[in-house]
Amino acid sequence: MSAQTDSEPDETQFGLAVDTFKLLADNTRLRILWALLHGEHSVGDLAEHVGAQPPAVSQHLAKLRMSHLVKARRDGNKLFYAADNAHVRHLVEEALFHTDHVVSGLPDHPNDTDVRPQQRRGRGERD
């Protein structure tokens, strides 16, 4: 176990984690984050990708930004969004890999708990 997981999180940390999971419990937001894991996108690109209206995507992005799940970069008069950091990437990927295992009936990786899914794939194993 790492030093970061040896001690129990405090109430603030638990509360913020719950808030993060609540934000991810929306199909459109999760699709937006998945798209952002694969590179920067504008609101219009994201709206087209997830099949939602741009104003709705903007509202989702505002919530995701306030929670530090996405970041924005301005280029002229246009904003481009990306996943905020590697923690967001791992959170989204692990949630979706977990559901893939549940839906497909795949077993857990009992001897590989400290290895990220990308590393397992690199060794020829299937997630």
Residue 34: which CATH number?
1.10.10.10
The model's confidence at residue 107, banded by pLDDT at 50, 70 and 90, is confident
| Statement to judge: residues 56 and 14 lie in one domain | yes
- 72: its two tokens: 């924005």
Which of 25, 22, 20 lies closest to 70, judged by CA?
Answer: 20
CA 57 to chain centre: 16
**Average predicted confidence (pLDDT) for the chain:** 87
Contact 31, 45 (CB under 8 A): no
| Statement to judge: residues 21 and 49 lie in one domain | yes
CB atoms within 10 A of CB 33: 26
pLDDT score of 122 more than 70 = no
Question: pLDDT tens across 26-57, in order?
Answer: 999 999 999 999 999 999 999 999 999 999 99
Contact 40, 82 (CB under 8 A): yes
pLDDT score of 65 more than 70 = yes
Prediction pTM value: 0.78
Q: What is the pLDDT of residue 4?
A: 60
| Statement to judge: residues 35 and 80 lie in one domain | yes
Helix (H/G/I), strand (E/B), else coil: 3: helix
pLDDT score of 61 more than 80 = yes
The reply to whether 78 falls in a domain is yes
Sequence-distant (6+) residues with CB within 8 A of 78 are 42
- 59: its two tokens: 């509202």
Contact 31, 25 (CB under 8 A): no
User: From CA 60, how far away is CA 62, in angstroms rounded?
Assistant: 5
The reply to whether 127 falls in a domain is no
pLDDT score of 1 more than 50 = no
Q: What is the pLDDT of residue 112?
A: 58
- Domain, as residue range, for 36: 10-84
Share of the chain above pLDDT 90, in %: 72
The reply to whether 111 falls in a domain is yes
Q: How many domains does the chain have?
A: 2
The reply to whether 67 falls in a domain is yes
| Statement to judge: residues 101 and 113 lie in one domain | yes
